[in-house]
Amino acid sequence: MMVTTTENIPGRKVKEVLGIVFGCCVQMKHIGKDLRELVEQLLAVKVSHIQNLWRKQDELLCKE
């Protein structure tokens, strides 16, 4: 059995179509750059979360 995302396979004869399939491909050109960007994104989320906590703490302290 062959699974493909094309209508035909060059050099082959299709005997039976079982259904529709789809595929997804993720390519990495430079793993170091991709890892660095991932870490930067994670740190940005952490920093923004910490800033939100600090802002809430300041608001609570100012109310008292």
**How far apart, in whole angstroms, are the C-alpha atoms of residue 56 and residue 44?**
18
Name the one residue in this structure whose structure tokens are 């793993």. 31
pLDDT confidence of residue 21: 67
Name the one residue in this structure whose structure tokens are 């050099």. 11
pLDDT digits (tens, 9 = 90+) for 19-47: 776 666 666 677 777 788 888 888 887 77
Q: Which two tokens stand for residue 6?
A: 């094309």
